[in-house]
Amino acid sequence: MNDFFTNVGIDPAIVILILAVFLVILFLVVFRMSSRLRKLEKKYRGFMKGKDGQSLEKLFVHHFRNLEKLVEAMELHDQRIDILRKNYTRLFSKYGVEKYDAFDDVGGKMSFVLALLDKNNTGVILNAIHSRDNCFLYLKEIVKGESYVMLSQEEVEALRKAVNFGLAENMENGTD
């Protein structure tokens, strides 16, 4: 072998030195891998402590079943939310109330007008007129913020309050 290195023109001491450096590097890599393997084994033992393979499998199956139930519940909730969104346009979401004295001989503002509107300003106005002997209730239809029958001053005020319901809060919050 010595003849080979002399024929090639390489000193055998340099080859031995390079191999020694390479061997030291390999020892360092093996030591680092060994320490990483020990840490990983320690974590694995902590994870598996008190558990056998079957109980872990049961645990995973249980968690997957719970995930499936959550997905089903989420789909059901999404369906219900869609139904609520569709029906929201038909709900009375705005109102206006105006209390007043209908007759001079009856005080305390016992009469009132209640305007109930949806988001399109369509709904009803209820006018409850209270006297000493009776109470009368009148209903008027409102379509897109307007009535096809004549409204009293109190009814107009209640309708105005209902149409403008929430505008002050929306302006403050920056939403429409």
DSSP annotation of 141: E
* pTM for the full predicted model: 0.50
pLDDT at 28: 96
Per-residue pLDDT of 54-83, as tens digits, reads 677 778 888 999 999 999 999 999 999 999
Q: What is the pLDDT of residue 5?
A: 67
The CA distances from residue 71 to 59, 60, 75, 80, 111, in Å, are 18, 16, 6, 14, 53
| CB contact at 8 A, 102 and 131 | yes
Q: Do residues 124 and 108 make contact, with C-beta atoms less than 8 angstroms apart?
A: no
Check residue 44 and give its pLDDT.
Answer: 82
> Would you state the pLDDT for residue 31?
96
Residues of the chain short of pLDDT 50, as ranges, are none
* pLDDT at 54 (0 to 100): 61
123 contacts 105 by C-beta, under 8 angstroms:
no
pLDDT at 172 (0 to 100): 57
Residue-averaged pLDDT of the chain: 84
